[in-house]
Amino acid sequence: MKRRDFIRVSSAAGVAGLVGRGFESFSAPFEADGGFDLHPFIKTHPEAVFINLTSVKEKTDSKAKYDAAFKLASEMFVKTKKGKGYPLSTKITCKPNWTASRIDKKDPTANMGITTDIDFIEGYLNGVKAKGLREFYLRECAAPSSWVVNGYTPMAERNNFDLKNLSTKDFWELGDEIIFKKIDGVVFKQAGYMAPMNAPDTFLINIAKFKTHQMGITGTIKNLQGITGKKFHQFCGGHYDIFKSYDSRYHQFFQPDYLARVAELHKKHVEMGIPRWDTTMDRPPYGGGLWMEQWVQRMLDSYSVTPTGINIVEGIYGRDGDGFAGGPHEGGKAMDIMSNNIIFGKDPFRVDIITHWLAGHEPGNFGLFHIGIERGFSDVLDPNDIPVYLWENGKAKKIKLESLKRTPLITLYLRRNANGENEDRYHMVDEPFDYNAWKGGKIARTEAPSVKALGTDSNDKVVMEVTVPEKGNVYVDVLNKDGEIIWKLYADDLEPGVHQVVWDGFSSPGLYTTYVKGMGWDAESEMVIYT
């Protein structure tokens, strides 16, 4: 007996759910007491990274940025039936990268790229709100004094988003507005998070900025350090003894021997050959491989207890330099560059690897990704081992990584200054890396041909996935119960891997058979669609 994929169809709105052995049910749209979830292809493929190319001409075009974000969110999330997906009572928490930023009086737009674009945040969250969500919380530890002048506070107020300063008070002043998580970490024993971050009834939308920083490229993993409370979030604040510099009431949250642990791990990783890990500190306690070891370990400690719903890098325009106003251009300034890409996915490590690659760097040269594998948080290092999809109008198209345009962003990440080297302060980290010598993780790849139904998209079209074992032309047929072909798709010269197929021709319930055929191989599955 063939395994069947069961798809339930709402009589009012089309396809509504998928049930059956081996599958999660997904929800029907347009029910007043329903829920929400990620698009079924995004949800089913946490190993994938998706690229949405925008067409914004100027970084100051607020409407274009808002519209691009709203459209993307509308496609990435779907409505579900009651009891399926996430309930509408779920608190949506959002972490933008709203770090310290000041208005340049000579050029008010000069420093826009320091932070996640405000129009993008507003458009994206409203796109999510349109699915029926009611509670939205914006949390950021950095520079609350600049929220009003940068427009964050007025934006939150007009959209009824909860934006609250919880980062300038110590934990004993916050009561139930700080959430503690136990951590068996290198640095942390416990960490405090700005409520409702890390609460069990939340869905975290993590939106980083496509820009350079001392850690390389500010990606989604680093962005998460900003959900912690005072004294917990100063990950990049130098390599120093917190037992000598922090109020004693904080000491209980840190491993008593964390400095020795960090030093031992740094020595180990230098011997392993992690690139640039042997760099020395330019100005202690900042800079150098030892400082970066502390930063990475502390960051991953916090990451270990922080589940994310979706991880996004807003790259409508990117920024080079030091992450703030300083950079390699005239007058020692940074520069914003129109890059017009939005990078997203379930797995923040994979999102960040592709982000570094798109910024012109070689991901294998960054210690974060090596240590992530070592600590069991990641299973991939080579960007070419990550399935990449172009996201267009709610559909995912598998592409080759090299087909994407890269936007080189000059960074001040660990400069090579050991063994007589004297690299420029601002530089690219694009030296070749031998990935074959470092293959230690799993490569997400399924070779057996298959076709199966996943659910419905935001337009209530049937979403299926097809696994192609080898490069070639592929045919997908949908047959009715009488064996008649009622819908066909032909794809020319598909690459091996998993591809999304959207059946937009559904018209009536019944039993259907889906075939996928290539040169010398085929697969089939059955689905029952009913009202």
Identify any residues that bridge with 453 across adjacent strands, giving them in sequence order: 464
DSSP state of 508: S
Instruction: Report the predicted TM-score, pTM, of the whole model to 2 decimal places.
Output: 0.92
Indicate if 427 and 451 belong to the same structural domain.
Answer: no
Does 304 lie in the same domain as 354?
Answer: yes
Q: For position 32, what pLDDT does the model report?
A: 55
The answer to whether 298 and 187 have CB atoms below 8 angstroms apart is: yes
Written as one letter, the residue type at 107 is: D
Looking up tokens 């990584």 gives 401
| Domain termination site, one of 409, 438, 467 | 438
Answer yes or no: is 264 within a domain: yes
With the C-alpha atoms ordered 368, 370, 376, 379, is the resulting torsion angle positive or negative?
A: positive
For every residue of 441-478, DSSP letters joined together read: S------S-EEEEEEE-TT-PEEEEEEESSSEEEEEEE
Answer for the pair 352, 370: CB distance below 8 angstroms, yes or no.
no
Q: Is 205 helix (H, G, I), strand (E, B) or coil?
A: strand
Q: What is the pLDDT of residue 28?
A: 35
The pLDDT assigned to 14 comes to 35
Torsion (CA) 148, 153, 155, 157 in degrees, nearest 10: -140
Do 362 and 299 share a domain, yes or no? yes
Dmax over CA atoms of the chain, in Å, equals 78
| Encoded amino acid at 211, one letter | K
User: Which residue from 66, 125, 30, 42 is spatially nearest to 500, judged by alpha carbons?
Assistant: 42
Domain boundary among 387, 405, 438: 438
Could you tell me the two tokens for 405?
């345009």
d(CA 294, CA 113): 27
- DSSP 8-state symbol, 519: S
Query: What's the total number of domains in the chain?
Result: 2
Q: How far apart are CA 270 and CA 92, in angstroms?
A: 41
**Burial (Cβ within 10 Å: 0-12, 13-18, ≥19) of residue 294:** buried
Nearest C-alpha neighbor of 369 from the set 390, 355, 388: 355
Q: What is the CATH number of the domain that holds 518?
A: 2.60.40.10
The CB density around residue 73, as the number of other CB atoms within 10 Å, is 23
Contact yes or no for 229/171 (Cβ under 8 A): yes
β-strand partners of 213: 216
Q: Is residue 62 part of a domain?
A: no
The Cα–Cα gap between 466 and 451 comes to: 5
Q: CB-based burial of residue 494 (10 Å sphere; 0-12 exposed, 13-18 middle, 19+ buried)? A: middle
The stretches in the chain having pLDDT less than 70 are: 1-32, 439-446, 530-531
Give 311's strand partners: 206, 345
pLDDT score for 101: 72
Residue 208 lies in a domain: yes
Q: Do 406 and 458 belong to one domain? A: no
- 109, 210, 327, 333 from 330: Cα distances, Å: 17, 21, 8, 6
Whether 229 and 303 map to the same domain: the answer is yes
Q: For residue range 374-391, what is the model confidence (pLDDT) as tens digits? A: 999 999 999 999 999 999
- Whether residues 151 and 20 share a domain: the answer is no
Q: Are residues 429 and 490 in the same domain?
A: no
Distances (CA, A) of 33 to 9, 123, 204, 315: 17, 24, 22, 35
Is there a domain that residue 365 lies in? Answer: yes
Residue 476 near residue 462 (C-beta atoms within 8 A):
no
| End residue of a domain, out of 413, 438, 463 | 438
Q: Are 314 and 73 in contact (CB under 8 A)?
A: no
By C-alpha distance, which of 252, 276, 287 is closest to 429?
276
| Residues 195 and 237 grouped into a single domain | yes
**Range of 228's domain?**
48-53+90-438
Q: Are both 275 and 184 inside the same structural domain?
A: yes
Q: Are both 335 and 279 inside the same structural domain?
A: yes
